[in-house]
Amino acid sequence: MLVHVPGPWSPLLGRLALSEIPYKNLILAPLFVLIVLVGLALVGWITKRGLWGYLWREWFTTVDHKKLGIMYIFLGLVMLFRGFIDGLMIRTQQMLAVGPGDNGIKAMGAIHGYLTPFHFGQIYSAHGLIMILLAATPLLVGLMNIIVPLQIGARDMAFPYLNALGFWITAAGAALIMISLFVGDFSHNGWFGYAPIFEMSYSPGVGVDYWIWTLELIALGTTLGSINFLATVVKMRAPGMTWGRLPVFTWSAVSANIIALTSFPCLQVALALVGADRYLGTHFFTAGFGGNLMLYTNLFWLWGHPEVYFVILPAFGMLGEIIPTFSEKPLFGYVAMVLATFAIAGVSWIVWLHHFFTMGMGPYVSTEFSVATMLVGIPTGVKVFNWAFTMYRGRISYTAAMHWALGALFLLLIGGLTGMMLSIPAINYMVHNSVFVVAHFHMMLLCIVYAVFGAVIYWWPKVFGFRLNEAWGKIMFWLFSAGTALVFIPMFMLGFMGETRRLDWPFDPHWAGLFDVQEFGIAIYVLSVVSFVVLLFVSIRDRAKERVGADAWGTSRSLEWLTDSPVPFYNFAMVPEINARDEVAWRREHGFLDIRPDHYKAIHMPNNTPVALYIGATLFLLGFALTWRIWWLSGIALLATVALMIWRSAKGDPGYVISAEEIARLDREARQKMPVDGGDTVPVGGFAGGQIMAYSREVSDQDRSHRGPKSW
């Protein structure tokens, strides 16, 4: 061991010991029993139904971008629930603990409320980390995974295996943070970490180590994914899909992934240096010995702010798809929208310092970053006006997805205006570290959550072939919105009243009423979670009634609505030829929507592989072993990871070919299963320009791969 760790250490188990399992904790022990029981029931049910083979073949080993996207979203929703429970616990603690005196629940060992400060610290740290990196990020990456290849007319991502690898590494990160609930502790010093509190001398436990390796794994998974997205959009577009015709969601995915690709390495380096401090005994971020603790904050937010825009830009892209569809108008100001997206992405690199205005770098630096931060308001304003002008005199249908999109606009307005306030250093000094800031960024992140729920409802029929229940979607929206208002309006007020963030004991009795309101709000959030489950249940029960054709909403615009619902595993029976910016709207307008290919070509598809899952497992082991300093296991896990990667690279994947006849049969069957869109309208078509090309002439994959810079 290079750094002396306090407490026992053995070569076999490292710092791991039975005493690290909190079986005496009155919350964690019953929760553990519950999770084991539910897990056993689930395993028993899968075994009884004989589903293991199906799960292994169709899901665990898949490289299909749609299935990986669904798994990303599933992971994101599970972690959103976990983060929500953390939020519920934070709210309950503050409601119980508020006021003077000794009001704690003695059985829990708490002086105030029901949680000890150490436990409370772990909860808010896990809440922040999970919500940003394991809920918002997988939800958005999952949606991009499903939709981006469909919107550009590709058969899959550019690197299907890399896609699976990115997912399983992210899942390994999620598993690591989940296991920290029951084995050892999690970090207690905030989701972004404070130097030098995370140093060994101040945080001797394993919590910070869990935090380091969880973040490292997620960062690795997301970086791999961003490479894949960029390569896909650059190289895999269907013929005719010029840059000027790219749907806005794909544009937002491009900008977001440029940010991810260039910023996540900063996080990895920052955390690797924290790791070096904790494991090797260096002094990068210590308070003495030449260390610079402010450098950590700088490096972290150098990633942190671009990351904020990495999560908001795809959400903006989703609004840019939902709003035109339900306004029956093309998006207002497409070019301005794309430019605004890239302006936000560009500015994301020069504003990170507004996260620590109070550090004391003086007026000149603060002014620069203050002005840069205010600049963000311009492209964001352009976007908001574009959405508003899209709706202006449109034929708006208030579907559930549109409810969520409009809700996102309201939250963006509140979050954006409070953000403008915070960008002024003088105001920032006043409210720094108060719950006003917390309420502000929750508005922004909830804007993302609203857009994600809208997008899930909007694209659900494309992925599964049936629409979600509209009524329950709206009930969930109103419950969720009521919860949002009741939790965060009091939080803004408390911020002005001087409540600092992360208080395990809010001492001022004047705050009590507002905490009660917040607790009431979170109870309504609980109802909205229940209504989400009901929404899924009701929709799946009534799926036959809500079965839709390719164009699920009847007014959709971009290319993903051209292919069948649910999308077949090969995406498009024939790669479509793109004629216009809103291809499906253009085809509907000219009566070409129902044109099916008259001939088919063989399709080359990648094989499934379990290697990505194995690498996820070995990387999870590596993170776990490093956390507990089990050196032999770390070595084996690292070697196994490298060996698997080299073995897979050397083996390659020849893929398999589906013959043209097989595609013709599959396409015919898919068409028969779908109801006809539009029902009674006869597709009378005509186009003044003469002949159109609905499907590309040469799409045999052999031809595609040899394609030069020539036009099609």
In the chain, the amino acid numbered 332 is F
Based on its alpha-carbon atoms, the radius of gyration of the chain, rounded to whole angstroms, reads: 26
Nearest CA-CA partner of 623 in 242, 175, 283 = 175
Distance (Å, whole) CA 391 – CA 153 = 27
Whether 453 contacts 474, CB under 8 Å = no
Q: Is residue 364 near other proteins by the rule CB under 8 A? A: yes
Scanning 17-25, 39-47, 387-395, 598-606 for contacts with other proteins by CB under 8 A, the matching segment is: 598-606
Shortest reach from residue 26's CB to other proteins, in Å: 45
Closer to other proteins at the Cβ: 673 or 697? 697
Distance (Å, whole) CA 690 – CA 686 = 8
Q: Is residue 258 near other proteins by the rule CB under 8 A? A: yes
Q: Is 581 helix (H, G, I), strand (E, B) or coil?
A: coil
Closer to other proteins at the Cβ: 631 or 656? 656
Residues touching other proteins, count (CB under 8 A): 36
Q: Is residue 272 near other proteins by the rule CB under 8 A? A: no
Q: Which of residues 160-219 bind other proteins (CB under 8 A)?
A: 160
Nearest CA-CA partner of 215 in 187, 253, 245 = 187
Shortest reach from residue 319's CB to other proteins, in Å: 27
Shortest reach from residue 160's CB to other proteins, in Å: 6
> Tokens 């009847």 correspond to what residue?
554
Shortest reach from residue 653's CB to other proteins, in Å: 7
Distance (Å, whole) CA 234 – CA 600 = 25
Shortest reach from residue 152's CB to other proteins, in Å: 13
For the chain, give percent helix, strand, coil, nearest 5: 65, 0, 35
Q: Is residue 569 near other proteins by the rule CB under 8 A? A: no
Task: Tell which one of 83, 98, 134, 156 touches other proteins (CB under 8 A).
Answer: 156
- The residues, any chain, with a CB within 8 Å of residue 270's CB and separated by 6 or more, are 296, 299, 300, 302, 303
Q: Is residue 295 near other proteins by the rule CB under 8 A? A: yes
Q: Does a cis peptide bond (omega within 30 degrees of 0) precede residue 22? A: no
Closer to other proteins at the Cβ: 256 or 529? 256
Q: Is residue 706 near other proteins by the rule CB under 8 A? A: yes
Structure tokens at 25: 């904790």
Q: In Å, what is the CA distance from 703 to each residue of 56, 241, 433, 603, 696?
A: 33, 18, 59, 11, 12
**Residues 425-464, mask of contacts with other proteins (x by CB under 8 A):** ----------------------------------------
Shortest reach from residue 304's CB to other proteins, in Å: 13
Shortest reach from residue 431's CB to other proteins, in Å: 22
> Tokens 């990456």 correspond to what residue?
141
In the chain, the amino acid numbered 18 is L
Q: Is residue 281 near other proteins by the rule CB under 8 A? A: no
Q: Is residue 254 near other proteins by the rule CB under 8 A? A: no
Closer to other proteins at the Cβ: 50 or 652? 652
Q: Which of residues 337-356 bind other proteins (CB under 8 A)?
A: 349-350, 353
Question: Rounded to 5 degrees, what are φ and ψ at 597?
Answer: -60, 145
Q: Which of residues 636-665 bind other proteins (CB under 8 A)?
A: 652-655
Distance (Å, whole) CA 353 – CA 440 = 17
Shortest reach from residue 290's CB to other proteins, in Å: 8
Closer to other proteins at the Cβ: 242 or 702? 702
Task: Tell which one of 298, 397, 500, 579 touches other proteins (CB under 8 A).
Answer: 298
Shortest reach from residue 159's CB to other proteins, in Å: 8
Task: Tell which one of 302, 313, 337, 578 touches other proteins (CB under 8 A).
Answer: 302
Nearest CA-CA partner of 701 in 661, 668, 657, 665 = 657
Shortest reach from residue 604's CB to other proteins, in Å: 5
**Residues 403-432, mask of contacts with other proteins (x by CB under 8 A):** ------------------------------
Q: Is residue 236 near other proteins by the rule CB under 8 A? A: yes
Shortest reach from residue 362's CB to other proteins, in Å: 5
List residues bridging with 658 in a β-sheet: 603
Shortest reach from residue 702's CB to other proteins, in Å: 6
Closer to other proteins at the Cβ: 341 or 481? 341
Q: Is residue 677 near other proteins by the rule CB under 8 A? A: no
Task: Tell which one of 111, 294, 413, 538 touches other proteins (CB under 8 A).
Answer: 294
Structure tokens at 274: 């924290």
Shortest reach from residue 237's CB to other proteins, in Å: 12
Nearest CA-CA partner of 409 in 316, 330, 488, 307 = 316
Q: Is residue 288 near other proteins by the rule CB under 8 A? A: no
**Residues 600-639, mask of contacts with other proteins (x by CB under 8 A):** ----xxx---------------------------------
Count Cβ atoms below 10 Å from residue 47 Cβ, excluding itself.
Answer: 10
How does DSSP assign 222-278, residue by residue?
A: HHHHHHHHHHHHHH-PPTT--GGG--HHHHHHHHHHHHHHHHHHHHHHHHHHHHIII
In the chain, what's the furthest Cα-to-Cα distance? 83
Q: Is residue 268 near other proteins by the rule CB under 8 A? A: no
> Tokens 């407490």 correspond to what residue?
7
Chain centre to alpha carbon of residue 259: 14
Closer to other proteins at the Cβ: 94 or 163? 163
Q: Is residue 262 near other proteins by the rule CB under 8 A? A: yes
Nearest CA-CA partner of 474 in 526, 545, 403 = 403
Distance (Å, whole) CA 231 – CA 649 = 18
Distance (Å, whole) CA 479 – CA 530 = 10
> Tokens 């040469």 correspond to what residue?
698
Q: In Å, what is the CA distance from 593 to each residue of 126, 463, 590, 665?
A: 48, 19, 8, 20
Nearest CA-CA partner of 678 in 591, 596, 563 = 591
**Residues 303-342, mask of contacts with other proteins (x by CB under 8 A):** ----------------------------------------
Closer to other proteins at the Cβ: 65 or 590? 65
Task: Tell which one of 28, 365, 489, 538 touches other proteins (CB under 8 A).
Answer: 365
Q: Is residue 53 near other proteins by the rule CB under 8 A? A: no
Q: Is 546 helix (H, G, I), strand (E, B) or coil?
A: coil
Closer to other proteins at the Cβ: 535 or 663? 663
Closer to other proteins at the Cβ: 244 or 652? 652
Task: Tell which one of 362, 689, 690, 708 touches other proteins (CB under 8 A).
Answer: 362
Distance (Å, whole) CA 674 – CA 549 = 5
- The residues, any chain, with a CB within 8 Å of residue 635's CB and separated by 6 or more, are none
Shortest reach from residue 262's CB to other proteins, in Å: 6
Task: Tell which one of 13, 31, 273, 361 touches other proteins (CB under 8 A).
Answer: 361
Distance (Å, whole) CA 277 – CA 287 = 12
User: Exposure string (b/e) for 268-292, b if CB count within 10 Å is 16 or more?
Assistant: eebbebbbbbbbeebebbbeeeebe
Q: Is residue 158 near other proteins by the rule CB under 8 A? A: yes
> Tokens 């078509």 correspond to what residue?
685
Q: Is residue 239 near other proteins by the rule CB under 8 A? A: no
Q: Is residue 704 near other proteins by the rule CB under 8 A? A: yes
Q: Is residue 225 near other proteins by the rule CB under 8 A? A: no
Task: Tell which one of 127, 155, 237, 442 touches other proteins (CB under 8 A).
Answer: 155
Which residues of the shown chain bind other proteins in the complex (CB under 8 A)? 155-158, 160, 234, 236, 258, 262, 266, 294-295, 298, 302, 349-350, 353, 359-362, 364-365, 368, 604-606, 652-655, 701-702, 704-706
